[in-house]
Chains A and B, each alone.
Chain A
Amino acid sequence: MAGPMKMRATILGGNTEVRVLITHPMTTVQPLHFIQNVTVKHNGRTVVESEISQAVSRNPVFSFRLKGGAKGDRIEVSWLDNKGESNKIESAVA
């Protein structure tokens, strides 16, 4: 089940700091259930593409940094897991 996500994007030292929390079991035991892909978009443009394993902790928290950015810019983070479940969150830079 695609659990809720939380995200905060703020300007820090002229760049955009994105912190995202994903609700997900990330199980290491069978049946494996873990996120495989996390993608970050800045105003609709893909800036980070990642592949992760079951070694990422349960309810993953990630921080990313984007060059520049301004208040109101749209940040979107999406994920896809090994069962084909996915979720995404979008918010404006504060």
Chain B
Amino acid sequence: MDTIRRSLAAALGVLLVKPLAALAAWNNQAFGAKSAADALKSLGASTPAPSKEIAIEAPQIAENGAVVPIEITSHLPGTTSIAVLIEKNPFPLAGKFDFKEGALPFVKLNVKMGESSDVRVIAVAGGRHYVATKEIKVTIGGCGG
């Protein structure tokens, strides 16, 4: 009986531990932040310096908030990371992209926006944080799906 109980516990342990172990790094705290300021703090980027070297290509008016295309290029030398925050979304941080040797600091993605909002892009270059902001107006919000 004891053996059965032990092997059952071991099997359960494997079931519980395995999916967790399979998960890669994901910044729970930054993604769980409910304000852009808190998300930035969790990213270690509380006071990023404004920069014109970060280009944000996005529509000024997005008709459908469920699919808002955003294209980001950092012209800051030595950019290693780009993060996208949608100020007025319930959880502002939408993504963080780390560029290793061999990648250009560029990303294009589609995001959901609940309402018109500033979109902030944080770039890390030479260990320093920089920010650029673009306002996107949304006709129909897209966070219901």
Residues of A bordering B, CB below 8 Å: 15, 26-29, 36-37, 39-40, 42, 45-58, 60-68, 80, 83-84, 86
Contact = CB atoms under 8 A, between A and B. Distances in A.
Interface residues of B, number: 39
Contact of A37 (B24, B91, B102): B24
Given A60-B110, A62-B109, A65-B103, A55 B94 contact: yes
Q: Is the interface of A mostly helix, strand, loop or mixed?
A: strand
B89 to A, nearest CB: 6
Interface in B32-73: 66-68, 71
Contacts of A51: 25-27, 31, 95-96
Contact of B107 (A29, A37, A63): A63
Contacts of A63: 71, 106-109
B5 interface: no
Contacts, number: 120
Given A29-B144, A61-B110, A53 B103 contact: no
B22 A67 contact: no
A28 B144 contact: yes
Contacts of B96: 50-52
B25 A37 contact: yes
Contact of A36 (B26, B67, B111, B144): B26
Given A51-B27, A63-B108, A80-B24, A56 B100 contact: no
